[in-house]
Structures are given as structure tokens and as C-alpha cells.
Structure 1
């Protein structure tokens, strides 16, 4: 029989721990005015969540919707990991129709605000949206980058990791340039991380060329992340440009 959302919720509940729920809520900044305000944790660590997903990765999309509409963080993470797994299966099978269906479904979840914490974004954006759009028009990425919503903007940045892995840095550089003025910590970190990966995985000169043009306008956090693999002398030089 095909698994259901209730199967996943029940399995996660059996692995939950009160102490972990408290610690995770603190770690993911769920207090008033913090980026994860109102997010609910039941206390399941990521490796345990992945084990549940492996046992229930055959969920139909309506059942995934049930998980993503849950207020419980671990339910939403499990649903996104199921989607990413099914997208990988479809890719290996050469089933572009299913890949498109999953990518469209994922984009709808993003627009409905259900991919709404940094780990949810980071575990899904490049595996689904980045993988699907690699050889297709990337308008959805640019639209998300232009949206002021923190999580949509982070999806745009992290989706480009799927392009970077295949040697394409152009979209990353364009998106990074478009969000330079965003000083929110999670945007800063994502921008710097993606720029660092451009230099590490694609072409170091593309990174240094970007920094030559834009270091003076970058936030401290983004610049620090972007420079991590540069020499001490280069890092000092770019910091001096701010």
C-alpha cells in the first residue's frame, strides 16, 4: 500500500524528544520577531527524519501537501525530502513529465509560504528547482530573487547551486548582484555561500571578478563567506574596499 501523511506523522512522532524540540526551536529562532517565529518543533533530528522518508518516499502529491500544510517543522521537512527523492527517481527514469509536475508543485509550495525556514530551503531548492531549470528558461529564479520575501529570495539563491554543480555560474552571479542590498543575515549567508561555491567549483576568476566589481557594496557577512577560500592577502584587500 502507498504510504500516507499520517504514516509519516506517526513515525516522526515516535522518534520525537521533548528536549530536542526545545533545542531545535531555539536554534531555528522561533521566538517573537525572529525569522522562524511561530514554527513548531516536535523534536526529531534530521538523520531520523531522513530514515522516516526512506520508508515512506512513495507518498502521492496530495499526501505531501498534507505534510507541507502542517504547522510542524519536521512534517514539512519530511514532505520536501520526499519530493526531492521522487524528483531524483524521475530524473534517473528519464521521466520529464513527472519532473515538471514535481517542480511546478514545489514552486507552488514556495509561493504559498510553505518552504519557510532555511533548512527547508537548503534541502530542496537546488535538488528540485535548480535541477529542473538547468537547461530551461530561468525566469522563476529571477522572479523569486526579485521578491522581498526572505524565503523566496533564499530559494532563488540556493536553486542556483544546482547550476553551479554543473559548471554554470552565470545565474548565480546575476542573482547575487540583484540582492546585494539585502542585509538580512540569511540572505547574506546564502549570497556569500553561493559566490564561494562559484570560485571553488566553477572558476576562481569569476568570483574575484565579481568581488572586484561589487565588494564595496557587499555586506560584511556575504563578503566574508565569499572570500573563505581566497588568500589572506586577497581577503584583506576586499575587506578594505568596504
Structure 2
């Protein structure tokens, strides 16, 4: 099989309509070894489904056991170079935790704090969403720290991600989640708060909802 961006686009165009995300993911699996330049071409496409394919391939390629560290570095650098094309919530969530979080796991995470201060909401969402990789490895420090920076963000797509990651971080360190909520529940966006408290006991959920401002 020819592993090129053009071949992927041709196969994508042959899928039954309406195109289902699962079909794109299955196709991406067949193109897991697509070279970096091919991924880049798909990622820069104006067609959303092609960018979905590119990011799905990136996540699969990054997490594949046979992928070299050099290639993982290339994937990470490509991802950050093309964030202007990764500009919807679903695109961020496809592989941000794998490619960005996975790459930074054993490295300095300063870039996430820079992203958290970005003027583009999708980069701020990426900053918090990438920490899902750390949380799944039992590390919650950066999730709570970045959530502190983003807790009063004015974009709902960021607020939802912050709430979801706080919920996941609470599974690692419940006491820190409680301390975070004690500081922020009264002023946090309601969508953030509802997601963050989802796994708490009902009386505690009601307590924090009672403190919350209306959004």
C-alpha cells in the first residue's frame, strides 16, 4: 500500500457518507507509518476530516512501540508548529495528550505554561489537556498548576477541559482537588465546577454548587 497523503485522501474520499469518525480512525491505523511530510500535508488541509486523520495518525505513531525517540521528537515539534490548524476542541483532544503530554513526560514542561497563557483558546485547552498523560501516570502537579492559571478563562471549551482534568486529577489526589475547590468553587465557571465535582459524594457536590456563582 502506498503511504502518502494523496493515498490517504483518496481512501478517505471513498468512505461512505456521512463519514463516521470511527471509519477515519480505522483508516488512520492503516496509515500509521505515514512519513512526517505526509502527516504535515494532511494537517494543513482545509478539510476537517483530513486533519482528523493526521492527528489520529500522529497519536498512533507516537504511541507505537517501534517508534524511535527521534520520530517522537519530530511529531512533537510538528504538533506545536501547526497548532493554528489544531483549532477545534475535537482536534486538540485527538492526540494532544499522547503527542504533547507523552513527549514532555520526562522533560521540562515549561511549554505547557506558555501555551496556558496563549491568546488562542485551543492552545490553552491543549495546555491543560496534555496533562492527561501525566495524570494517567499518577502525576497531578501540573494539572492543578495549569488549572490555577485557567480557572477563570472566558472560553467554554477551555473551561470544560479544566473541569474534566480536575476530575481526573482528583482520582490521583482527592485532597488536592478538595483544596482547589475550596479556593475556587465560589468563582469558577459553573461548567468547570460541575465537571470537577462529578465523582464527589452528593452532599459534597451540593456544597460546592451552593458556593458557585451562576453562569
After TM superposition, the score normalised by the length of structure 2 is 0.94
- Find out whether 1:218 has 2:193 as its counterpart: no
Which of 150, 162, 177 is residue 207 of structure 1 equivalent to? 177
Structure 2 equivalent of residue 104 of structure 1: 77
The size of the alignment, in residue pairs, is 212
Match of 1:46 among 21, 26, 45: 21
What 5-or-longer segments of structure 1 have no aligned partner? 21-43
* Structure 2 unmatched runs, 5+: none
In the other structure, the counterpart of 1:236 is 206
8 Å CA contact retained: 1:2, 1:58: no
Distance (whole Å) between structure 1 residues aligned to residue 193 and residue 70 of structure 2: 40
1:10 partnered with 2:18: no
Mapped to 2, the partners of 1:125 and 1:54 lie a distance apart of 17
Q: Post-superposition shift, 1:2?
A: 4.5
- Quote the Cα distance in structure 2 between the aligned partners of 1:69 and 1:94: 23
Tell me the secondary structure at the aligned position of residue 125 of structure 2.
helix
The TM-score with structure 1 as length reference comes to 0.84
For 2:113, the equivalent position in structure 1 comes to 142
8 A contact 2:76–2:103 mirrored in 1: yes
C-alpha RMSD of matched pairs (Å): 1.3
* C-alpha distance in structure 1 between counterparts of 2:35 and 2:71, whole Å: 12
Which consecutive aligned stretches of 4+ in structure 1 deviate over 4 angstroms post-superposition?
none
The residue aligned with 2:151 is 180
Q: Distance in 2 between matches of 1:163 and 1:2?
A: 36
SS of alignment partner, residue 217 of structure 1:
coil
Question: SS where residue 57 of structure 1 aligns?
Answer: coil
Say if 2:164 is the partner of 1:193. Answer: yes
